Chains A and B, each alone.
Chain A
Amino acid sequence: MTSHAKPTEAGPVLHVPVPHESAHLHVSGEATYTDDVAELSGTLHAALGLSSKAHAKVTRLDLEPVRAAPGVVGVFTAKDLPGRNDCGPVVQDDPILADGLVQFVGQPLFVVVATSHLLARKAARLAIVEYQDLPAVLTVQDAFEKGLAVIPPMRMVRGDAASALAKAPHLLEGEFVNGGQEHFYLEGQVATAALEENGGVWVHCSTQHPTEMQHHVAHALNVPSNQVHVECRRMGGGFGGKESQSGLFACVAALCAWKLKAPVKLRADRDDDFLITGKRHDFWTTFKLGYDESGRVLGAEATLVSKAGFSADLSGPVMSRALCHFDSGYALNDVRLTGFCAKTNTQSNTAFRGFGGPQGALAMEVAIDTIARRLGVDALDVRYRNLYGDQTGRFTPYGQEVPGDVLPRLLRQLEERSGYRARRAAIVTFNQGSAYLKKGLALTPVKFGISFNATHFNQAGALVHVYTDGSVLVNHGGTEMGQGLFTKVAQVVAHELGVPLAWVRSTATDTSKVANTSATAASSGSDLNGKAAQAAARAVRDRLVEFLAKREGVGAEVIRFEGGLVHVGPKALPFREVVGAAYHARVQLWSDGYYATPKIHWNRETLQGRPFFYFAYGAAVSEVLIDTLTGETRLLRADLLHEAGRSLNPAIDLGQIEGAFVQGVGWLTSEELVWNSASGKLLTHSPSTYKIPTANDCPLELNVALFDDANPEDTIHRSKAVGEPPFLLAFSAFLAIRDAVAATGPARCAPKLDAPATPEAVLRALAALRLMPR
């Protein structure tokens, strides 16, 4: 367990569990989110009118009743856009407002602006829309069979899978289906736009990607990027859902402000947010694995089909990452993977914590579990047998080397500290004595590649200002969505300058400060922005050193910055005095900083290269109890062991680990998206029908620890990214449920359990086992 030294005013600011920089604002209601920003006078409110058809031509769009409604000041459609009607992040197939063709139920058709939020929402319902239905494709299987895809299929090949499969003593053919997941960021999508002088537009938007918002708005309004200024202080959660999908809201708000020359706010009602925005991709994976008596996988073929929805959005990159994570933690030397992004008439699925990685790796973990069950051995032993290593192989299906032995060490440590083997035995006994309730146990590993697959996104910039009173301001391209990025970056800057953390203030992400930023995504926020801010702070510090060395006539090596003091040999000067003097000596006290991740490269055509700077590892053990009469499940205990390198902030990292785990458990148990099979309407479009975990779903016993191991790569203070990887820890809960289900069946049975394991899915799996011969 990592020791948590209490931070003190003058003590170290790195590797200590300081609270989130906004914690005191969160708890007092003083943290300002986009909808809380004081409204400019005359602010108007927009609401979107949505399609009620999954796929249809719009034959009539009568907006007169909308215009005539009380309080309405404007109604706009695609025709009103001065520029391009598109907010697709990769492919231009994502209309801001549908133009004559609707492609899913919930697609925005028009926007109405009124004097209040309520009046706008009321008016939006008054449009008269007539449609001519077109055939709608609603399921991933249907789209795959029809060959409908949003981008061409992808292939990742290493070795010779076909002959490896032919030679393998045993063959497992199977399929696995996982559902999608709604982000359910507590703060819904929201953007406010207002005009600035000389044709400028200012957009305050809850987004993980201000630069992309800037680009979309510029294109939509047909103005250069320098006329668009996008700002975001914080989000009430993002999880990937505000990476590309905030674009529509930013563009529509900007359009309205542009047309009406007034500030306009667009805040989606929760139901509309569910209906409009994309989610985690459902996947349907079919696989063939060859294996031997020991459970060693000898060859693998798989086809991963994702439900992209009506447009490409980020489905391509999500599929790349899914393919890159199909290996989970295992050496697959002869492997052939195909990725197909199926086009369906549903919301356009998008980034969500893990970005396809969980979907790819879970299919493999289910397959490994099945192999173990068929062989009648503990799945953990089959896992050990297949982990990357000198015996098994060190190269991933995409050709990147997996160095070191973190995962086997980590697994063994968790196996021991969680009492896995003894608990396994205890569970067998429990199940023998319990007729209706059954327990299950599983231990699963995590290996997650860190960096954006697309190399060029792996860059970042920052600004550090030191004011003459010694106070410091930092600004960078990353966004704060609760993950603690601003806190970590402030820690890095405080450490570089040797000042107390309280002296460093973080300001809103702003495209007019740092340009051409990447999305805060792929867990890379601290890695990239931390390094960039470090470089900026270092540049200022180096100038101060130079100035002092000259003034004091000493060598640079005797100058140290610590605790708000600058030590020059035996002399300690207050930091503020030093910067004051430096200012008078005309030393530049602010700097930019820039960082580009080294060593990485990626060939998009062959899907080969070194896409990841490094891997982050973890593992979890879950123990569940299931009710065989109702299919209800309960997570009794979870032991998580996860790696954050040399954690910049153990409290924040533990929070990320636990939070990701519980979010992942939600994905795999209670969170079920249901679409009407005839109309294509999403039926689970609010928290009354879509059930994310509550406090009672947090396991009764939750043991979380950091696996302390400095990152061998030169990351920011040898830490590791921690946003996404722990999401995959939740596999253990799902496979523990599968284990409990298996306890009701004949020996060596491998239950067919798809995700999410809702009570009904568990009942189905139990029923199928009852039909099996004993």
Chain B
Amino acid sequence: MSEPIRFIFRGRRQELRGVSVQRTVLEWLREDARQTGTKEGCAEGDCGACTVVLAELPGLHTAPTTLAGTRGAQLSVRTVNACIALLPTLDGKALFTVEDLKALAGGGLHPVQQAMVEHHGSQCGFCTPGFVMSLFGVYQTNAQAPSRQALADALAGNLCRCTGYRPILDAGQAMFAPAKVDWDTAGLRAQLEALVRSDTFLYEHDGQRFWAPKSADALAEVFDAHPRARLLAGSTDVGLWVTKKLEALGDVVWVGGVGELKRVERSAERLTIGAAVALEDAYAALTALVPQLREYWLRFASPPIRHAGTLVGNVANGSPIGDSAPVLMALGAELALRKGSRRRTLRLDEFYVGYMKNRLEPGEWIEALSVPLPSPAWRFVAFKWSKRFDSDISAVAAGLAVKVEQGVVAEARLAFGGLAATVRRAAHAEAALVGQPWQEGAVRAAMAALTQDFNPLSDLRASDAARREVAANFLLKLWLQTRDQAPLSPAALSVWAART
């Protein structure tokens, strides 16, 4: 018989067997455990009605400061979307849902809940459990009320169709006023420590296997032995294959249990991000390196998605509208690939070979991704174009970097998403810049050259013509923002700048 999935739920250890590997946490909560406080609004990670909080022992990685606040040294506390989280990935964690809050507060409403009631933060109430849990995530990771803007950003993954959000933002600030209600961190840690596994966790149901290796070596070994298995990180995309395409995933190898792959390391030359580093942590580290990335970071999906999904997963997935690749290409990223014990490196801009196709061999995987620390000669911007600021899929995304030496463009890395079958660099536009003075004439030439680089499609997000226009204007913005004479501040070029 398979080892059970073990996690902490309602204050006790829960052990599960006989449940499908691809059962979602939400299905389990609502249908099996009959805990219906957590709602389903979309089953694809886009509405937040299913938001729950996961607490786990902090990994080996250094904890960067993220939007959700400084991560406590004692526990890592994060919101995720239960609708696309697979049940076996709960192993070793504590799951908190909206039903836990009154118990934490000793039976009455928790300050988060009380503030929502007092500020009229619910109307139909269907989104409310998700908002309460997102706010609870903020409550647990902040000592005092964050700014209104930070709150709005923390709630970017929660849709409400009734309230217009103002009362919820008010509640988010007011919830810090009463005496802090906390959980028993030491007790929780002890419970979690008792769940720590030293070796690969293998869960099996109905012939489907789920491996959660504990070391990179073990992962390499199991994936080499089972190259047809599905490599899974945050299931922010694979989760939809389950809930929407109703696909059978086959065997699964999960990277999320490998502590050493959660490392972010910065040497004198490079920043290296392990395969299991969450998007939120990865962008925190990248933004620390390149502050211009901040707006782009905020626009990348929503907090619960960034908590679950990984940067390497986003790159490996290889969607032409994946937002990380353009930025990473512009930064000159390199991938550390591994198959068994064989390792090689590959530049990211050489990784994709066609629509959702890449150079990985069977059994090979991305162990880490790294970018060189940018030299001051590089001028860099990142832009995204979509119908909505928060959590929208790009119609065009761009990571644009030029290296200017003595007023002349020495090198250019202009990478775009949304314009072709893969994210890729704009060779003609780059050629139009290199060797030219960093002046408007060269920029206009590069803008014109983009038409040779890309022949975008029209789809529900935008027409081909608008994509071209915006891609070209992104180049113009790069220049306006980084030219030597009177560069424009982001505030003069982005309607969103006033926010950050």
Contacts and interface: CB of A to CB of B under 8 A. Distances in A.
Contacts of B460: 672, 674, 683-684, 689
A652 interface: yes
Contact of B42 (A30, A686, A759): A686
B43 A269 contact: yes
Interface string B32-76: 001011111111111101000000000000000000000000000
B388 interface: yes
Report which residue of A36, A125, A436 has the largest number of chain B beta carbons within 10 angstroms of its beta carbon.
Answer: A436
Interface stretch (B93-101, B256-264, B355-363, B412-420): B93-101
A2 to B, nearest CB: 14
A353 B357 CA distance: 45
Main secondary structure of the interface of A (DSSP, over half): loop
Given A632-B385, A634-B495, A651-B120, A696 B152 contact: yes
Contact of A688 (B46, B99, B463): B46
B263 to A, nearest CB: 31
Contacts, number: 274
Contacts of A29: 36-38, 97-99, 129, 132
> Interface size for chain A: under 10, 10 to 19, 20 to 34, or 35 or more residues?
35 or more
A225 interface: no
Contact of B31 (A117, A236, A629): A117
A698 B459 contact: no
A694 B388 contact: yes
For A184, A239, A759, which residue has the most chain B Cβ atoms within 10 angstroms? A759
A636 B126 CA distance: 28
Interface stretch (B165-173, B212-220, B367-375, B438-446): B165-173
Interface string B487-500: 01000111110110
B469 interface: yes
Interface string A649-680: 00110110011111100000010101000000
A489 interface: no
A32 B129 CA distance: 12
A763 interface: yes
A549 B14 CA distance: 64
Interface stretch (A17-25, A362-370, A511-519, A563-571): A17-25
Interface in A1-31: 17, 19-20, 22-31
Interface string A747-772: 00000000000111001100100000
A436 B393 CA distance: 24
Contacts of A670: 387-388
Given A28-B99, A436-B492, A662-B165, A235 B124 contact: yes
B251 interface: no
B492 A694 contact: no
Interface string A421-458: 00000000000001111000000000000000000000
Given A434-B492, A691-B388, A24 B124 contact: no
A20 B126 CA distance: 13
Given A23-B120, A437-B495, A686-B44, A236 B165 contact: no
A236 B34 CA distance: 19
A186 B109 contact: no
Interface centre among B112, B124, B460 (most CB of A within 10 A): B124
A395 interface: no
A188 B39 CA distance: 11
A303 B118 CA distance: 47
Contact of B161 (A24, A186, A636): A186
- Main secondary structure, interface of B, reads loop
B102 interface: yes
A585 interface: no
B164 A663 contact: yes
A481 B124 contact: yes
B423 interface: no
Interface string B464-485: 0010011001001100100000
A693 B127 CA distance: 14
A323 B94 CA distance: 57
A693 B169 CA distance: 14
A626 interface: yes
A20 B165 contact: no
B163 to A, nearest CB: 5
Q: 3 smallest A-B Cβ distances: which pairs?
A: A29-B37, A482-B124, A236-B126
Interface of B: 27, 30-31, 34, 36-47, 49, 97-99, 101-102, 109, 112-113, 116-118, 120-129, 132, 151-153, 155-156, 158-169, 244, 246, 383, 385-393, 395, 459-463, 466, 469-470, 473, 476-477, 480, 488, 492-496, 498-499
Interface of A: 17, 19-20, 22-33, 35-36, 38, 116-118, 121-122, 125, 183-188, 234-239, 269-271, 434-437, 481-484, 625-627, 629-634, 636, 651-652, 654-655, 658-663, 670, 672, 674, 683-684, 686-689, 691-698, 700, 702, 704, 758-760, 763-764, 767
6 contacts: A29-B97, A29-B129, A271-B244, A436-B488, A688-B44, A695-B151
